[in-house]
Every structure is written in structure tokens, then in C-alpha cells.
A and B are shown apart, each in its own frame.
Chain A
Amino acid sequence: METLRPVDTSPETPETRLQQRVFAPMLHTERAFYVWIGFLLAVIALGAVAYYFQARDGLFVTGMRDRIMWGLYIALFVVFIGASMAGTFVSAILRIAKAEWRGPIVRGAEIMTVAALVTAAFFVFLDMGRPDRALNIVMFGRWESPLVWDVYGLTTYLAGSMVYLYLAMIPDLAIVRDEVGDKLSGPRAFLVRKFAVAWVFERSQMAQLGAALAVMTIIMIPVAVMMHTVTSWIFGMTLREPWNNPMFGIFFVVGAVYSGIGLIVILMAVMRKVYRLEEFITDRHFLNLGYMLAAAAGVMVFFNVSDFVTLGYKLSADATFNLDQMVSGELAPVFWIYIWAGLLLPIAVIVIPRTRTIPGIVAAAVAANIGMFLERYFIVVGGLRVPLNPYEPANYAPSWVEWSLMAAGISLFLLMVTLMLKFLPNMAMWEIHEQTEHAGAPIEQAKALEAGA
């Protein structure tokens, strides 16, 4: 047992050190883990109390009313759908692009996708006036409705990402079974054995897995693009001014890529710290993702400029109202924080060499995600604020119930990610191994080359 503590003690190979790092959280539970889980459960309990009041009194307890009838819940639904892009982006897109450095981060990113999609469904459920009738969507679902597209999309995407997560995990489960299977408790050892499906690293098995992963990779990318597009179409299929916008689909896809990359950077930083993975998650990972983050931010800037120029040039009445509320009105603080901190700051941090460090890139990723949360908030609330009839524009402020359930939803997401990272092999050992093989040099040589370059 003690030899498996992640401490550099012996002249092991990088492979065994990697295994030790991966097995450590599976075999040892630190006190901090219980404290963290306890904290998350406490926040979720607060959310349960809030939901008790919402279930008793209806959505009356929220800040939403007839004029602004969607609020924080729907904004958070969009946020978590966006977060789900993390896994697809890293594992599918980087796999197709044959980016070999993806190895240590694919597992965490795929776990994040699954957790984010479950959380997104959670927020839709919170927003329903009649959650007791949720099954009506299955019994009476009409394919003409954008909401049903979302239900189909989300379930397809969730099923696909769970399959994807599991397929790529089979060899790792086999390694766990063979290396530390006897150290796991009975039920866990049993599950690991069952889910490792008699995997023995045979050539036919590897070929089958490779083919299956290739198919899933190809399916997952269009499914992800579809998911983010139909999410935008919940808004895009209405006749309201800023939403009635053919650009919305691609805008949401890019927004999801942007926030997804940011989330991976944050996850990498946390995993690196908590599981002491400095050897495997290196500057290179942060740099590569940092450049992608800046590029996605650039595309977001382009979309915003394009939107503002095409609408601001003509200044139709509704567009004028919308631009006014964003630039100088009720939503101005949210909007300008999004522009400056959410888009321009990350670009600056990554472009300037002095700040292009790991802490800098992580800070940029945090800023990007806060910015994208604010963006989703003002898309939802701003779109509903534009008056359709002659009256004073309505205002919206989330109530304590909404804030509590937002905290609970985020905690639920973190809880799922934490538990999966603990109980599943948290890095794709076999893929890292394959990649170092592929590069023709062990990890240390690769690092030495990198340091030299």
C-alpha cells in the first residue's frame, strides 16, 4: 500500500509513475476529499430547501414574471450545455486533429461533458412550471418544437458521451483490474472486473476499440454542433429582436467551444494540483489550450462586432432599444464586464508573453467562463426585456431561491466530476502510453526536447 503513495522514491519508469498517480485517488481517500464532498452536499441541501419552497409555492418564489419569463435557470442551462463542449472538443476534435498532447486531459474532459449535460437537464427541470408532467415530453412530444429538439439532442449527446467515456476507459479499467484489483473493496473490484470486459490488450481487441473510437469520434462532433445549435434555436425560433438572428447557431457553437476550452484549462490546473500531475500535465498543455482559448475569444469578438455593426448601422426601433440597454442601460455592467474581462482580457493575457504563464492562462480561463456566464445571462434577460407592446420595460433580478439553486446546480456538477475522477481512472493511461510510443521517445526525452526547443 505505502509504496503506492504518489511520492518519488524509486527509479521507476514514467509508466509506473503514471500508474501510481492514477491509482492513488482510487486507493486512498484523504480527509480533504471528505471535507470537499461534505461542503458540496451542504450546498446541495440548501438548494433542496430552496426547491421545497419552489415546489410548494410555484415559480412565484423566483424573480421571473410574465414579461421576463425566463431567467437564471435558462441562462444556466445554456451555460452547462456550453460546458459540455469541453469533452467533445478535447477528445473528439483533438483526436481527429491527431494532437498527441491530449492524452492526460481527455478523461477529465469527457467526465466533465457527462456531468455538464446532466446538470443542464437539472436546470431545465427546475425551470418547469409543472415538473410533475415532465413525462408529457415523451408521451406527447412534438418534433416541431425547438424544446423537443433540445430533449432529443441532449439525450443523444448524453448517451453518446457516456459511450465515448466508457469505450476509451476499458483498457484503463483492465490495467486497474490487473494492477490493483485485489486492493479494491469487493463490489468495486467486481464492477471494475465486469466493466473491463475481459480486456487483455490483444491485437484484435485494440483494433476493435480503435475502430469503435473512430466511429464515436466522428459521430460526436456533429452531435455536439447540433446540440449547441438547437440550444440557440430555443431563442432563434422566436420573433423577439436580438434572438431572431440566423447567426445564433454558430454563435452558440463558438461560445461553447470558448467556454469549454476555459473549463478544461481550469480542470487541468485543479487536477495537476490535487493529484500532483506536474510531470504529465505540463506547460505545453496550458500553452496549447491557451492559444486555442485566445483564438476562440477572437472569433467571439468577431461575432459581437458583426452583430453590433449590422444592427447598429440601421437602428430599427427594437434593435436600438436592445443596443441601448446593453451599452448604457440596465444590462451595461453585465455587458461591459463580458466584453472587457470575458473576451479582451483573456486575449491580452495570452498574447502578452509575460503573462503567458500557467497562472495567467488559468486566470484567463476563469475570466472567460465568468464572461460567458454573463453573456448567456444577458442574452436571455436582454432578449425578453425588449418591449413588445407600449409599456415600461420590465426588470428581472434573481431571487434567493434562484441563487441557491444555481449554487446547488454548480455543486451537483462539481460533485459528479469529483466522484467520477475519484472512482474512475482519471487519466487515459493507455493513450498516454500509446502517444509516447508514437512519438518514438519516452516522456522524459520528449520533455527534454521540449525544454531544449
Chain B
Amino acid sequence: MPVQILTAGFQLDKAENQKKWEISRRRFIQMAGMGGAATAAIALIPNVIADKQTDTRLPEHVPDVENGRIRKWMMIIDQRKCDGCQSQDSPPKCTAACITGHYVPEPMQWIEVYEHEISKDPELQPGSDITAPIEGTTFFPTPCQQCQNPPCVNVCPVGATWTTPEGVTLIDQERCIGCRMCMAACPYERRFFTWSDPPVPPEALFVKYDPTHQVPLKKGVVAKCDFCPEMARSGQLPYCAQACPQGAIYYGDLEEDVATNGEEVVKVSRFLAENSAFRYKEELGTRPRVYYIPGHGEEAGRKPTDTGLKPTVWNHRTVPEGARKWKRSGR
């Protein structure tokens, strides 16, 4: 009964109300448009705030500009020379040097040597008249590919990873929120997460943290190869290039068109063109700055059938008491 009394008012006006409820197509579009515009305006607010703060965090990393030129750091990995350090009877020394230089915790290998099978195709069996090496493996040292269309940078929600004008993609561990979207986006799987307090040696704690030299690593953030641009600027090669006993890793500057492995200096454009260089997963359009020259370690005297790689060890002298180690692939 009471409801009837309360609702009497609108029962009388039912016809009128109904008219109000029905809306024309034009009105529909108007309202949808207004709603969309309002939503977009609200959505822009954080961006406006963010714009004020962008790129003020690294004033000291303004790139070297000499004669109006900006360096374009790049790397050439000559697979003809890479024997996975089989001749040294050791785990890959590039990985080891990187681990030592950056105090990289287990199980990260910022430059990781993968063993690619030359062909899995059953039709290319030994005994056929194809002369190319058709069985066995090649070694494929894989640092961060330093893409110029970097999927990881595109998806980062907070701008914690960005590409410098020199073309190097860095991570700011002090801004990273640990969402791991960049790890999902990276098609080369060159990003690593600190799942707990990372097992870094205590001496790493004395290093001043800097995005170009990610030491010491923090908990709950993403890390990766930083391409050592600060070392290059001071006239040194990155740890990996310094440590390669075969001189398979060249580091250089695309702008100056020159690269070196420490022994020999090459003109990049010519060196790449003459040696059928390629980039890893070129078809993805990520435009990496790391080039490969195909081979299977023949210049170091390796045969493709000499398979196997010594596993990397993290020989930090000490790691903190109770530091947790984890595996890359799962618990």
C-alpha cells in the first residue's frame, strides 16, 4: 500500500516519463561523445603530471655531442669466431666477465650464450650433396639487442625503461614497479626479474647505483644488459667484449661507422655488408643494434658437431647470509 502512495506521482506521468527515457539517435551520439570526451580528459591528468617530470632524473646522462653528432652504440658478434669458449675449456667468458663486472646475481646471464641447432630439418641429413654444415650447432651470444623499436619501452607503464638518444635502452630500478610487462613484451627474453633480495656480493653495495651501471640490484625490479655506454665513453670496451678470448665481440658507433674488438678496428658498414650480417628476429621489426655474422666458430677451429657448453657459474666470493637463489625456468 505505501508504495502506491509514494509512487503515485510517477504513475500519473508514466507516459511522460517514457518519453524522457526514449532518446533519439542524434541524442545518443551526442551523449556518447560527451562521455568519451570527459573520460579522455580525466585519463590525461596523470600524463600532464608525468610530463613535468619526464627526463629530469638523469641530467648527467646528456649524450656526448661532438660536432653535432650523437653516438649510436652498437655491437657486432662474429659467430665465426665464437666457439663458446670450448677451446678455453671454460664456460663462456663473456658471460663470466659481465657477471663479475656487474655483480650479476644467479641465475641472470645478461649476455647468455645459446646453442642453436643449425638445422632440425630431417631432409638435410648427412650424406646428401648439400655442402653447407647441416648438423651440429652454432653458438649465439645474446645480450640485450638494444632495439630501436623496443617493445619493452613501449609497454612500460611508468617510463622506468627508456631509450637514450644514443640508442641504448636502460632501466631505472628506482622507478620500476615490478609489473613485468616489459618481460612479456621482449621477444628476445633478455629481461630478468629480482624475485627476492638478489644474491649479490657485499662489495656491490658500495657501488653507487646508476641506470647505466645497475649495481647493486634491488628486490622486485627488472634488470638487463645495459650495453655499458659509460665504459665506452671512457675509452673502454664492455666487459663481455674485453673478455672474449677470440675477439668475437665488436663494439662501436654506427654514427662514426667504426667498431673494434680490442685488436682490430673495422668499418662497420663494410664489415656487415661483406660478411652477410643479420639481426636476430629481424622479421619482428624491432630494429636491434646488435648484428651477427653467421658462423659456427670455424675461425677458432671448432666443428659444428662439437656440441656442448660448460654451464655458467656465479663465482662471487661471498653472497650475503640467507640470500635466495632461484632458477630461471621455474621453482
- Residues on A lying within 8 angstroms of B by beta carbon are 13, 15-16, 19, 57-60, 63-70, 127-130, 133-134, 136-148, 151-152, 156, 174-175, 178-179, 200-203, 206-207, 210-211, 214-215, 218-219, 222-223, 234-235, 237-240, 384, 388-392, 394-397, 399, 429-430, 433-434, 437-438
Contact = CB atoms under 8 A, between A and B. Distances in A.
Contacts, number: 247
Contacts of A438: 14
Interface centre among A68, A151, A215 (most CB of B within 10 A): A215
Contacts of A129: 176-180, 193-194, 219-222
B177 A128 contact: yes
Query: Lowest 4 CB-CB distances: which A-B pairs, in order?
Result: A129-B178, A129-B220, A60-B196, A394-B329
Contact of A207 (B13, B159, B220): B13
Contacts of A384: 184
A64 to B, nearest CB: 8
Contacts of B23: 214, 218
B31 A67 contact: no
Contacts of B188: 388-389
Contacts of A399: 331
A237 B3 contact: no
Contacts of A394: 328-330
B3 A429 contact: yes
A138 to B, nearest CB: 5
A142 B50 contact: yes
B192 interface: yes
A174 to B, nearest CB: 7
B319 interface: no
B134 to A, nearest CB: 17
Nearest to B44: A143
Interface string B168-212: 000000011111110111011101111111000000000000000
A138 B46 CA distance: 5
B171 to A, nearest CB: 12
B43 A143 contact: yes
B311 interface: no
- Interface of A, helix, strand, loop or mixed by DSSP: helix
Contacts of B16: 203, 207
Contacts of A203: 9-10, 12-13, 16-17
A219 B181 contact: no
Contacts of A151: 157
A130 B31 contact: no
- The range of chain B's interface size is 35 or more
A206 B10 contact: yes
A142 B177 CA distance: 13
Given A174-B6, A223-B39, A148 B157 contact: yes
Nearest to B286: A239
A239 B185 contact: yes
A390 B117 contact: yes
A142 B156 contact: yes
Contacts of B219: 58, 129
B330 A395 contact: yes
B183 A66 contact: yes
Given A130-B221, A139-B50, A206 B42 contact: no
Contacts of A179: 2
Contact of A69 (B9, B36, B42, B183): B183
Contact of B32 (A201, A218, A388, A434): A218
Given A136-B177, A203-B12, A215-B35, A67 B329 contact: yes
B179 A68 contact: no
B183 to A, nearest CB: 5
Given A145-B157, A145-B181, A140 B11 contact: no
B284 interface: yes
B116 interface: yes
A139 B51 CA distance: 9
Contact of A141 (B4, B36, B46, B116): B46
Contacts of B114: 389-391
Interface string B144-171: 0000000100111111100000000000
Contact of B155 (A64, A137, A146, A156): A146
Interface in B29-63: 31-32, 35-36, 39, 42-44, 46-47, 49-50, 53-54
Contacts of B32: 218-219, 222
B67 interface: no
A388 B180 contact: no
B196 A58 contact: yes
Contacts of A133: 158, 175-178
B184 A69 contact: yes
B31 A215 contact: yes
21 contacts: A16-B2, A19-B3, A57-B196, A59-B195, A66-B107, A66-B192, A66-B193, A66-B328, A67-B189, A69-B193, A129-B220, A139-B49, A147-B155, A202-B9, A215-B35, A218-B31, A234-B181, A237-B185, A388-B187, A394-B329, A395-B330
B327 interface: yes
B95 to A, nearest CB: 14
Given A66-B328, A69-B183, A394-B329, A141 B47 contact: yes
